Structure 1
């Protein structure tokens, strides 16, 4: 698998594009939900395939997605007029009037809040929906990173097992050589015992690596939520020519694209809208209504004009917010929430930038370690082993030193694989921090 296939495409899209076309959005959400409900039967070959499987099957991601779907219904509930009130009254003792006795009354009332209140409520609900989407994006990105890291751990384990097997074969050969030399009195029994000790130690180490792989497979299965018909394939190789953008570009991208920061900004924006809404709640509201009164006919006066005519009354009402403490407290509460959100944004920016610096440090450290082991140390140890084995054949070399150098070769080979995997893990975490796996509503 080459580096281009391994890395995940960076996606950026504006907020205007993210929240467009309600009808199209709803259709896509329905289709995405149907897709998520179907078992994923593909035979995944790349880490990107497994990341998609995890995004569609992982319970945490699905939970965050359904929370987002639920929040989409919120704007339709907010920003609408209160339900009209209808009242019916029956006069047990009819009220006598000139036109006849009033027998019953039907009243209809519709209240209206202060101008702009409904729009503010809709805007708050819309902003909160965007915050829920950022929570979904953050959850999905985190599972993407966890999946990639798990597969990198699996790659490291598989390569470590291969290296351990190769070194075990070498040790098996050294045991045989030492036995032959011992039988011909060219070596001592101590050489045989030392080789056998190293042999058993490496077998134990190899068994632990295999056990670790079983545990890691279970972890990956948990991330993928046990999808059926999925066979886990590990990349055959990772290339060392992995490149990252410069630190300033990554820092700018982190500030702009990180879903946690985006969610906090929406919280700040929502608090500002709530402050305006609280101020408008302190304004008068008014209502209009009508009463229809049923009037019976008078039987004691013949020829009375409009005898028994029903009455229709137009009515207006006002709600006057006299007790200001309640509304002032709502405004102050919203102001405190704004300041709290601003402090959270500042704090989170600082911590995320620190995480980014640490990830870049880990990436460059892993790159240096890989170069050291791959280009220098392993070659030197191999060269030293060749010389020492030639000398041992002439019975002029210390067998213990050969075994020590063989252990060092094993350590360097394992360290090289670890450094390569660490480099990719650091790059994957940088991708997670900078939101390079961000998904948009238009893609679901």
Structure 2
């Protein structure tokens, strides 16, 4: 791991700057963040009790009592949920907020992966352009040698033309890469939420790490895509606890006040005394199968979530195995092209020595140049693929 960290330290800071900028400016991240903020606020919403009922009535026909006629009725009543219901409601809202927070984490990791992939693609293009420039300069050197050989009758004008045609082909490849770079740069700027044509700088070179990072498939268990299912499972558990609380009776307290008119036809104790009546009420869900149905739904939902998690784990394991294989293939290709380049350089040295003795063959020069260019471009592609696959592995395994 240390070898890999040290090998990419020069470019990781530059790449990390783009990743941080993308996360800060991304509308998609803001969308998930706002969704999480809303879910968090629902925890406060959950702390509520039923509205207080206040009622008033006037007797059109005043009923007579022993102490006088009743004129009106004023009532106030407050229902209260069963003990622990509000706490269960808050816990459920909090578990849903936790699930939404994992979505924020997943979105950030996916965005970081996309930025990394575009970054390494831009590196590949610009590294190839640099190699093309070097090969064009090399061909120009061979062209001057060919012109000198033509003057002394050791080469023909056809050799010069072939070298010039080859330079034109390399210039074309370089211009095509420039157009590809513009497209990738526009896509990366889109992730950074800025103007499509703003310049993006990448490192000049990358090195193949000496050793690969050691991996364990057990680390997949910390991937947020799997943690999301754990949070959803927990939210269903909290939903069931809330359902059990809501299935309990509700109880309420109240007070009735009835003003009474004094009787004028006699004088008695408590004449015209107002009536004050405290009340207690309770609601019992006797004939309601709703809560039993919700319990069954929650059980089925948890089974569904567990199946989804197992399915996703299988997919992540497959993705990780394939990515490790592709990363290993990239290293093999890189090392092979390194050997090929060393042998091609030896062949080039032989050609240069032959030129010193006056027996250079420019057909061989072009063949060697094409081989060198082929090996260099393939080596750059292999290096890019190694870092892209490493970024995918980082997405899959790092918590």
TM-score, reference length from structure 2: 0.90
* Matched ranges for 1:238-317 at <5 A: 238-241=206-209, 243-248=211-216, 251-256=217-222, 258-301=223-266, 303-317=267-281
- 1:278, 1:330 within 8 Å by CA — same for their partners in 2? yes
2:316 counterpart of 1:352: yes
In the alignment, which residue of structure 2 is the partner of 1:16? none
Q: 1:266-304: CA deviations, max 9, x gaps?
A: 111111222233334333322222222222333333x33
2:379 counterpart of 1:416: yes
TM-superposed CA distance for 1:317, in Å, is: 2.0
Q: For the residues of structure 2 that align with 1:275 and 1:156, how far apart are their CA atoms?
A: 53
TM-superposed CA distance for 1:335, in Å, is: 1.1
In the alignment, which residue of structure 2 is the partner of 1:28? none
* Matched ranges for 1:291-440 at <5 A: 291-301=256-266, 303-374=267-338, 376-391=339-354, 394=357, 396=359, 398-436=361-399
- 1:103, 1:294 within 8 Å by CA — same for their partners in 2? yes
Give the direction of change, closer, same or farther, for the CA distance of 1:298–1:236 in structure 2 (3 Å limit): farther
Give the direction of change, closer, same or farther, for the CA distance of 1:129–1:411 in structure 2 (3 Å limit): same
Report the secondary structure of 1:130's partner residue: helix
Point out the more displaced range, 344-353 or 323-332.
323-332
Q: Of the two, which has the highest radius of gyration? A: 2
Q: For the residues of structure 1 that align with 2:120 and 2:323, how far apart are their CA atoms?
A: 16
Q: For the residues of structure 2 that align with 1:395 and 1:80, how far apart are their CA atoms?
A: 97
Q: 1:225-259: CA deviations, max 9, x gaps?
A: 1189x8633123323226554222xx222202x11
Q: For the residues of structure 2 that align with 1:179 and 1:194, how far apart are their CA atoms?
A: 12
In the alignment, which residue of structure 2 is the partner of 1:116? 84
In the alignment, which residue of structure 2 is the partner of 1:38? none
Give the direction of change, closer, same or farther, for the CA distance of 1:6–1:394 in structure 2 (3 Å limit): closer
Give the direction of change, closer, same or farther, for the CA distance of 1:270–1:243 in structure 2 (3 Å limit): farther
Q: For the residues of structure 2 that align with 1:265 and 1:84, how far apart are their CA atoms?
A: 39
Report the secondary structure of 2:263's partner residue: coil
Q: 1:204-245: CA deviations, max 9, x gaps?
A: 1000111122222212211111189x8633123323226554
Aligned residues: 394
TM-superposed CA distance for 1:395, in Å, is: 6.0
Give the direction of change, closer, same or farther, for the CA distance of 1:321–1:243 in structure 2 (3 Å limit): farther
* Matched ranges for 1:116-195 at <5 A: 116-195=84-163
TM-score, reference length from structure 1: 0.82
- 1:142, 1:432 within 8 Å by CA — same for their partners in 2? yes
Give the direction of change, closer, same or farther, for the CA distance of 1:120–1:325 in structure 2 (3 Å limit): same
Q: 1:168-190: CA deviations, max 9, x gaps?
A: 11122233333443454322343
In the alignment, which residue of structure 2 is the partner of 1:439? none
How much is the aligned-residue C-alpha RMSD, in angstroms? 2.5
Q: For the residues of structure 2 that align with 1:371 and 1:6, how far apart are their CA atoms?
A: 22
Any gaps of 5 or more consecutive residues in structure 2? none
Q: Name which of 92, 103, 106 aligns with 2:60.
A: 92
Q: Name which of 61, 71, 79 aligns with 2:29.
A: 61
- 1:389, 1:402 within 8 Å by CA — same for their partners in 2? no
In the alignment, which residue of structure 2 is the partner of 1:26? none
Any gaps of 5 or more consecutive residues in structure 1? 9-44, 437-444
Q: 1:394-437: CA deviations, max 9, x gaps?
A: 5655433321221121121112222222212111111111234x
